[in-house]
Amino acid sequence: MEVNPQFKKGVLELCCLFLIQKKDCYGYELANQVSKYIEVAEGAIYPVLRRLVKEEYCSTYLVESNEGPSRKYYQLTVKGEIYLNELISEWNNFTDSVSKLLTEEEAENE
């Protein structure tokens, strides 16, 4: 699905945190999971992940791989869990408000 790049940039953090909450992931795996729903370049995920670790919303650990170098897995911290819940609430409020606006405008223009 083609999406405005600014929309993607704003929601990528939420998507990453949500998927990591469900299951610890490494970067490439996370990019593939997000790409099932939103077209996103793998390289766009890594700056988000670095920021999430820097802000202590995620932590990392290494796992040996049979297919090359060790993989860095990301897992949600308690702080990240709290932040994710805040983001989900904000997202739901935001999308509800935008949907309401669009619906009311369409009704007025009929």
Instruction: Compute the distance between CA of residue 89 and CA of residue 17 in angstroms, rounded to an integer.
Output: 14
* pLDDT value of position 5: 62
Give 35-91 pLDDT, tens digit per residue: 999 888 888 899 999 999 999 999 999 999 888 899 999 999 999 999 999 999 999
pLDDT level of residue 106 (50, 70, 90 thresholds): low
Q: Which residues of 5-15 are buried (b: 16+ CB within 10 A; e: fewer)?
A: eeebeebbbbb
Ramachandran angles phi, psi of 72, nearest 5°? -90, 115
Nearest to 20 by CA among 67, 58, 72: 58
Please indicate whether residue 3 or residue 34 has the higher confidence score (pLDDT): 34
Please indicate whether residue 8 or residue 15 has the higher confidence score (pLDDT): 15
* pLDDT value of position 39: 87
CB atoms within 10 A of CB 40: 22
Statement: 5-94 belongs to CATH 1.10.10.10: yes
